Amino acid sequence: MALFLDSANIDDVQQAVRLGLVAGVTTNPTLMAKTGRRARDVIQDILALTTGPVFYQITAGETAARLAQAHSMARLAPDRVVIKIPATTENLALAAHLKGEGISCAMTAVASPAQVYLASLAGATYAAVYVNRLTRQLGDGIQVVRECVAIARTNPIRILAASLKSVEEVVATLLTGVSDITIPLELILRLGEHELSRKAIEEFAAYTEQPSAG
């Protein structure tokens, strides 16, 4: 299970890279807008800081324009840029087209195992499922993820869990057997902490040898 950073903030990317834990970086239009910069420039900077996959979501209204966006971004690093495409029937056809051109795709905003099945047939590498959002909209995002994972067991696609808001939600999602998760830096940092670990460290400190004066 790979861990991805979900951020378009360059400071976040630098800190996550220093931790040595993330396999790559996912972005989305909301995160891009927060930077106040051109998406192309942000993706170029992230590519320069990392060695793994970097995800960019196409946003144009017309199919031809979405295709042009995908080509433009993929050319920045053909072996590393993953094009995120919102899950619709029309966009599944677009993903199949890009797959035929050797461009890696992630169907995003996936909300059902049926979409996972079709995304696998289209040749998408990833299906991104918004866990917390589905819980708010349907009542049980974890169950949706569990069903998506079951489909992926017999179809060539990776389930990428996104929209995770707490340590508990991350753990529950990992237990479904997802392929990968993507979370913001703040949540990555929280995963590595526990009050009992801190308490044990404080207890160990009482027995730490002090360096001798000589």
CATH number of residue 200's parent domain: 3.20.20.70
Closest residue by Cα to residue 114 from 132, 103, 102, 127: 127
User: What are the tens digits of pLDDT across the range 104-158?
Assistant: 999 999 999 999 999 999 999 999 999 999 999 999 999 999 999 999 999 999 9
The one-letter amino acid at 22: V
Q: Please report whether residue 124 resides in a domain.
A: yes
Average pLDDT over residues 163-190: 97
Q: Return d(Cα 150, Cα 131) in angstroms, integer.
A: 16
Q: What is the pTM of this model?
A: 0.92
Mean of the per-residue pLDDT values for the chain?
94
- C-alpha 122 chain-centroid distance: 20
Q: Of the candidates 197, 203, 147, 209, which has an alpha carbon nearest to the alpha carbon of residue 161?
A: 147
pLDDT of the residue at 102 = 96
User: How many independent structural domains does the chain possess?
Assistant: 1
- Indicate whether 214 belongs to any domain: no
User: How much of the chain, in percent, has pLDDT values that exceed 90?
Assistant: 89
Residue 106 lies in a domain: yes
- The answer to whether position 6 is within a domain reads yes
| Residue numbers annotated as active site | 84
Question: How many angstroms separate the CA atoms of 174 and 176, rounded?
Answer: 5
In a domain, 175, yes or no: yes
Q: What is d(CA 149, CA 172) in angstroms, rounded to the nearest whole number?
A: 13
Residue 211 maps to a domain: no
pLDDT of residue 61: 87
Domain that holds residue 183: 2-205
Domain assignment present for residue 71? The answer is yes
Q: Is 86 helix (H, G, I), strand (E, B) or coil?
A: strand
DSSP H or E stretch at residue 70: helix 63-74
* pLDDT band for position 213 (cuts 50, 70, 90): low
Whether 212 is covered by a domain: the verdict is: no
